[in-house]
Structure 1
Amino acid sequence: MPLYRISIGTPGEASHPDALKAAVAEFFSMLIFVFAGQGSGMAFNKLTYNGSPTPSGLISAALAHAFALIVAVSVGANISGGHVNPAVTFGAFVGGNITFIRAIVYWIAQLLGSVVACWLLKLATGGLETSAFALSSGVTAGNALVFEIVMTFGLVYTVYATAVDPRRGNLGTIAPIAIGFIVGANILVGGAFDGASMNPAVAFGPAVVSWTWTNHWVYWAGPMIGATFAALVYDNVFIVDSTHEQLPVTDY
């Protein structure tokens, strides 16, 4: 990947009206996504009186996250690109589609959106626990790291194929659906092992509100590594310099 496409940006970019509007869009998209995703898990626990996880619960979580992410990406696409994930933002930076300064602005908004969503859930449910992501019995941090790398690779690879590739054509219209579906599918695979985060912000909000940080690093390292691999692979193998164009922020 040519290094000239990676851009740090300028300090003034962080306070530019367009960047601030994009940050607000990321904040609300993340709030929508986490409120529905984390809330579905809390609702299941309430209905089962905090019973053991079941296949139906896993399916419910996958559907809730898939549907919520389709909406969250769609409503933010025209303003911020609808990243709704610090790993997706980092993947966009690695591919030269967003500056590092703007990525930091997005990360702050995404993390705040997740924290606020979890606080609102705790308030609305009368203080029910917003459970932090955790490893299942018999799953090591190394196992979870591999899960997060592979699952996030699939997610960011899908983002590149449907939303970033300049040859995407009409495929871009279904990008939010494809992105939501791959997240839902990955939850069906990894949900029983490490919760299937694929998103540092999704793990960060519950960790802050419950103040539980055990193995939290896995939910940052895995997605960031997976996103980097996906961006490098897709950009170097499938997007050639002759057809690659710097994309506007609304297209990631």
Structure 2
Amino acid sequence: MAKIAFGTSREAAHPECIKALVVEFICTFLFVFAGVGSAMAAGKAGASPLVGLLFVGTTHAFAAAVMVAAGFNISGGHLNPAVTIGLAAGGHVTVVRTLLYWIDQCLASAAACLLLKYVTGGMETPIHSLGKGVDPVQGLLMEVILTFSLLFTVYTTIVDPKKGPLQGQGILLTGLVVGANIFAGGLFSAASMNPARSFGPALVSGNWTDHWIYWFGPLIGGALAGLICENFFIVRSHVPLPRDDQEALLSN
């Protein structure tokens, strides 16, 4: 079974951690700027729901793949609290680093949405919301499943040391599953899969309708995928992150 690595509060002052936080902020900012910007552009153009869905889903797929690749060797390119908790559940990220990343990702999302509102002349940043006829429980379940799909892809194509012919393709495949999930769930639950991506628009617009769904759903789905993949599907030869605080600091 994977062991949770708690880390230490001193991890926040470690140069490697600071560098990772800076890069994670930049990559998350650019991802949200492109993603929310595409939704705003679709609205401004008066696109039909289907055309808007295709436009937004494709933009998120491209932006996710590129920004994960950009940050991968420094911060891991998480862009998403659900990805971070999924990796923490498998012992790949300390609990301390997880909390720091969550704060970092949410601040980056808020900054991107504030800037978008300014550069678009005051346009509202569209929030994630449930589709017509979808109740909160249905929306929550949809977000759990979609985020599980995302983290399952991350684990099996990037984290798994025995990727075989998938070697080097995991980042692109992760972007593709983001787009596919938006196509599948966008008109029902909005297919957030990312609490930070939902947080920025809600904060800037001041509209928190059903916002809890976009935290609980992705975090549950991400954590479940991490636990299941790490403990049942992946066979490792290396030692996971240590649980001891001192050792965790040294390993980072």
* Equivalence for 1:7: 5
How far is 1:246 from its partner? 2.7
Segments of 4+ in structure 1 off by > 4 A? none
CA distance in 2, matches of 1:134, 1:103: 26
1:100 aligns with: 95
- Pairing partner for 1:203 from 186, 198, 206: 198
Partner of 2:181: 186
**Structure 1 counterpart of 2:28, which letter?**
M
**What whole-Å deviation, never above 9, does each CA across 1:216-241 have from its counterpart, x for those lacking one?**
0000000011011111111121113x
**CA gap 1:89/1:239 in 2 versus in 1, 3 angstroms:** same
Equivalent position to 2:61, from 58, 62, 66: 66
Question: What secondary structure is seen at the aligned counterpart in 2 of 1:81?
Answer: coil
CA RMSD of aligned residues (A): 1.7
Of 8, 14, 17, the residue aligned with 1:16 is 14
Q: How far apart, in 2, do the equivalents of 1:199 and 1:58 lie?
A: 17
Residue of 107, 112, 130 corresponding to 1:112: 107
The correspondence for 1:234, drawn from 226, 229, 233, is 229
Partner amino acid for 1:37? G
Match of 1:192, SS state, is coil
1:145 to 98, 115, 140: 140
Equivalent-residue separation in structure 2 for 1:160 and 1:21 (angstroms) = 24
Cα deviation digits, residues 75-127 of structure 1 (max 9, x gap): 00010111111000001111000100011111111111100110110011000
Gaps of 5+ in 2: 242-252
Count of matched residue pairs: 243
Judge which range, 231-240 or 61-70, deviates more: 231-240
* Percentage of pairs with the same residue: 50
- Distance in 2, matches of 1:135 and 1:57, equals 16
Contact kept in structure 2, 1:153 and 1:226, CA below 8 Å: yes
Q: TM-score, normalised by structure 2?
A: 0.92
Q: In structure 2, what is the Cα distance between the partners aligned to 1:10 and 1:83?
A: 21
What SS is found at the alignment partner of 1:173? coil
Give the Cα–Cα distance (whole angstroms) in 2 for the partners of residues 223 and 45 of structure 1.
Answer: 25
Q: Which residue in 2 is equivalent to 1:250?
A: none
Cα deviation for residue 169 of structure 1 reads 5.3
Task: Output aligned runs, 1:41-60, within 5 Å.
Answer: 41-48=39-46, 53-60=48-55
Note the residue ranges of structure 1 that are not aligned, 5 or more in a row: 248-252
Residue of structure 2 in register with 1:82 after alignment: 77
Give me the whole-angstrom Cα distance separating, in 1, the residues matched to 2:239 and 2:167: 16
Post-superposition offset of 1:244? 4.9
- Partner AA of 1:167 in structure 2: K
Q: Taking structure 1 as the reference length, what is the TM-score of the superposition?
A: 0.92
Distance 2:159 2:238 in 1: 10
Maintained 8 Å contact 1:166/1:244 = no
